[in-house]
Amino acid sequence: MAKTKPGKKDLDSYSIKGTNKIVRPGDCVLMRPADTDKPPYVARVEKIEADHRNNVKVRVRWYYRPEESVGGRRQFHGAKELFLSDHYDMQSAHTIEGKCIVHSFKNYTKLENVGQEDYFSRFEYKAATGAFTPDRVAVYCKCEMPYNPDDLMVQCEACKDWFHPSCMGMSIDETKKLEHFLCSDCSANDEAKRPLNSFHVRPTAESKVSVTSFYLVIICSGSAIVYGLTLND
């Protein structure tokens, strides 16, 4: 038997009180905050143990919300973005109120519908120093921001960079009605010639700057088509 400390024993699973949901090590959970006005904490369960009186405790690794990080929420942070921290705790299993899924950034951008339980994480976060890993990500648009999966972006047919409508002086509605798009630099350079072919809305990017290929999802009359794409970044 795997005994960690005298009188304690490891458990394979825990049933969330009042539900039929089973939590196992490796699962992500929502935990009730002391201040009930706040959103639930999100954590990954590393270990589940019971003491000699059958009180169940979980060792958790916390996910931080952008608001809880030293730098705060930035414009490129998605609504469902979390940072996997190096901050661990022991918590009573009673504070677990539900399960959730923390996707990789790539998988999150491929979801057809984002449910309440879906989150994503593209950075690890050191709670003591406020440092992120990776510390560099690919940036897009004139504003040179990392991709926020909640924001619509449009691809320039010439330079293939992605742009925020607002940074190009367009509304989202105007952008959706466009049949072709050239960014301001490319439309100044290139007025005619080339036949314009495909038109893409919304990038799906891998977060690391060193990654040279990623997938692009194009929403086409309700169905998603996935294309391979290479970036020379």
118 versus 161: smaller Cβ distance to Zn ion: 161
Which residues, 6 or more positions from 7, have their beta carbon under 8 angstroms from its beta carbon? Answer: 51, 52
Helix (H) or strand (E) holding 191: none
- Binding test (CB under 5 A) with Zn ion, winner from 156, 202, 205, 217: 156
CA angle 5/10/16 to nearest 5° reads 130
Please, which of residues 166-205 interact with Zn ion by CB under 5 A?
A: 167, 183, 186
Diameter of the chain measured on Cα atoms: 79
Residues in contact with Zn ion, shown as a per-residue x/- string from 97 to 136 under the rule CB under 5 A = ----------------------------------------
Number of residues that bind Zn ion (CB under 5 A): 9
Q: Give whichever of 188 and 220 is closer to Zn ion, judged by the CB atom.
A: 188
Closer of 84 and 141 to Zn ion (Cβ):
141
| Residue 4: strand, helix, or coil | coil
Select the span of 59-67, 121-129, 160-168, 193-201 touching Zn ion (CB under 5 A).
160-168
Closest CA to 216 of 142, 136, 147, 133: 147
Residue 183 CB, shortest distance to Zn ion, in Å, is 3
- Residues 133 and 113: their CA atoms lie apart, in Å, by 28
Rounded to whole angstroms, how far apart are CA atoms 209 and 228? 17
Binding of Zn ion at residue 56 (CB under 5 A)? no
Shortest Cβ distance from residue 175 to Zn ion (Å)? Answer: 12
Look at the block and give the residue holding tokens 């509304």. Answer: 171
Asked if 217 touches Zn ion (CB under 5 A), the answer is no
Please count the other Cβ atoms lying within 10 Å of the Cβ belonging to residue 195.
Answer: 4
Binder of Zn ion out of 48, 58, 100, 141 (CB under 5 A): 141
- Which residues are near Zn ion by CB under 5 A? 141, 143, 156, 158-159, 164, 167, 183, 186
